[in-house]
Structure 1
Amino acid sequence: MSADSDASGAPATSRLLEQLMQIARTSALEEMASGFAHELNQPIGAIATFAQAAERMLSRPEPMTAQALDVLRHISNEALNAGQGIRRIRKLFNDVAVARINCAMPDVIAELMPVLELLASRAGVHVEAAIDEALPVVSVDRLRIQHVLYTLVQNSLEAPRPAQRPARVRIEVTGDRYAVTTAVIDNGVGLSTEARAQLFRPFFTTKDQGTGLGLASSRAIVEAHEGAIGCDDVEGGGARFWFRLPAAV
Structure 2
Amino acid sequence: MGLIRPFQLWTLLFILVAMSTTALYGIFLATDAVRQEAREQFFQQYNRQQLLMAEQASAALEVFFVSLNRSLGLVTSLFEDHPVDNNRAREIQGSLFKLNESLADSAIIDLVVFDSKGTVVAIQPSDPYTLGRNYAWRDYYLWARDTGKPGQMYVSPFLKLEGGQNRGDKALIVAQGIYSPDSSFKGVAMFTVNFDELARKHILPVRLGENGYAWLADINNKTLLVDPHGAVAGRSFEEAFLPQWPKLYSLLTSAQYGGSGTDWYSYEDPTDHSQAVRKLLGYQILELSDHLWFIGVATPEREVDKLLSSFLRRQETVSLTLVISILAVTVVVSGLLLAWNRMLSRRVDARTSALAKARSQLEHTFDELLESKKLAAVGHLALGLTHEIRNPLSAIRMNIKMIRKKWQPEGRLQEHFSIIDDEILRLNRLLSDVMDFARPGPLRLEKQNLNDIVQRVNLLLTQRFEEEQVAIETRMPNPLLVVCDAEQIEQVLLNLIINALDAMKEIETEKQLSIVGSCKGNQVFIRVTDNGCGIRPEDRDKLFDPFYTTKPAGGGLGLCNLQGILLRHQGAVDIVEKEGPGTCFRIRLPITPTAMANKDDLTDTGHF
Same fold (TM over 0.5): yes
Residues 218 and 106 of structure 1, relative CA distance in 2, 3 Å threshold: same
CA RMSD of aligned residues (A): 3.5
Q: Does 1:126 align with 2:471?
A: yes
Looking at structure 1, the residues matched to 474 and 542 of structure 2 have their Cα atoms a distance apart, in angstroms, of 28
Bigger drift between 179-188 and 104-113 goes to 104-113
Match of 1:228 among 547, 572, 594: 572
Partner of 1:180: 524
| Residue 153 (structure 1) shift | 0.2
- AA paired with 1:113? N
Written as runs of structure 1 = structure 2, the 5 A alignment for 1:22-37 is: none
Cα displacement string for residues 83-114 of structure 1 (whole angstroms, at most 9, x for unaligned residues): 9x947959x95674211111111122122220
| Residue 121 (structure 1) shift | 2.3
Match of 1:149 among 450, 475, 493: 493
Match of 1:114 among 459, 463, 467: 459
Looking at structure 1, the residues matched to 517 and 534 of structure 2 have their Cα atoms a distance apart, in angstroms, of 21
Q: Does 1:169 align with 2:513?
A: yes
2:575/2:585 contact within 8 Å kept: yes
Work out which structure has the larger RCO, using CA pairs closer than 8 Å and 6 or more positions apart in sequence.
1
**3-state SS in 2 of match to 1:183:** strand
With normalisation by structure 1, the TM-score equals 0.62
Partner of 2:89: 46
| Residue 237 (structure 1) shift | 1.3
Looking at structure 2, the residues matched to 40 and 51 of structure 1 have their Cα atoms a distance apart, in angstroms, of 12
Looking at structure 2, the residues matched to 105 and 163 of structure 1 have their Cα atoms a distance apart, in angstroms, of 30
2:504/2:511 contact within 8 Å kept: no
More helix by share: 1
2:447/2:483 contact within 8 Å kept: yes
Q: Does 1:105 align with 2:476?
A: no
1:190/1:234 contact within 8 Å kept: no
Cα displacement string for residues 118-156 of structure 1 (whole angstroms, at most 9, x for unaligned residues): 332233322221112453x21111111000000000000
**3-state SS in 1 of match to 2:503:** coil
Cα displacement string for residues 134-192 of structure 1 (whole angstroms, at most 9, x for unaligned residues): 53x21111111000000000000011477441111111111123111111100123211
2:575/2:584 contact within 8 Å kept: yes
Partner of 1:197: 541
Looking at structure 1, the residues matched to 79 and 487 of structure 2 have their Cα atoms a distance apart, in angstroms, of 31
Partner of 1:159: 503
Q: Which has the larger radius of gyration?
A: 2
- AA paired with 1:246? P
1:191/1:233 contact within 8 Å kept: no
Structure 1: segments with no counterpart, 5+ residues? 1-37, 58-82
Q: Does 1:216 align with 2:536?
A: no
**3-state SS in 2 of match to 1:127:** strand
Structure 2: segments with no counterpart, 5+ residues? 1-75, 94-120, 130-376, 385-436, 598-608
Q: Does 1:244 align with 2:588?
A: yes
Residues 190 and 114 of structure 1, relative CA distance in 2, 3 Å threshold: same
Looking at structure 2, the residues matched to 161 and 115 of structure 1 have their Cα atoms a distance apart, in angstroms, of 19
Looking at structure 2, the residues matched to 199 and 148 of structure 1 have their Cα atoms a distance apart, in angstroms, of 15
1:185/1:239 contact within 8 Å kept: yes
**3-state SS in 2 of match to 1:108:** helix
Bigger drift between 99-108 and 148-157 goes to 99-108
Looking at structure 1, the residues matched to 459 and 504 of structure 2 have their Cα atoms a distance apart, in angstroms, of 24
Looking at structure 2, the residues matched to 169 and 138 of structure 1 have their Cα atoms a distance apart, in angstroms, of 24
Residues 200 and 95 of structure 1, relative CA distance in 2, 3 Å threshold: closer
| Residue 231 (structure 1) shift | 1.2
Looking at structure 2, the residues matched to 164 and 87 of structure 1 have their Cα atoms a distance apart, in angstroms, of 42
Cα displacement string for residues 40-63 of structure 1 (whole angstroms, at most 9, x for unaligned residues): 6996972334699xxx89xxxxxx
**3-state SS in 2 of match to 1:168:** strand
Q: Which runs of 4+ in 1 moved over 6 A?
A: 41-45
Residues 177 and 212 of structure 1, relative CA distance in 2, 3 Å threshold: same
Cα displacement string for residues 192-216 of structure 1 (whole angstroms, at most 9, x for unaligned residues): 1111121111111111111111111
Cα displacement string for residues 51-77 of structure 1 (whole angstroms, at most 9, x for unaligned residues): 99xxx89xxxxxxxxxxxxxxxxxxxx
- AA paired with 1:47? R
Looking at structure 2, the residues matched to 218 and 121 of structure 1 have their Cα atoms a distance apart, in angstroms, of 26
Looking at structure 2, the residues matched to 194 and 171 of structure 1 have their Cα atoms a distance apart, in angstroms, of 26
Looking at structure 2, the residues matched to 164 and 131 of structure 1 have their Cα atoms a distance apart, in angstroms, of 28
With normalisation by structure 2, the TM-score equals 0.27
**3-state SS in 2 of match to 1:182:** strand
1:232/1:241 contact within 8 Å kept: yes
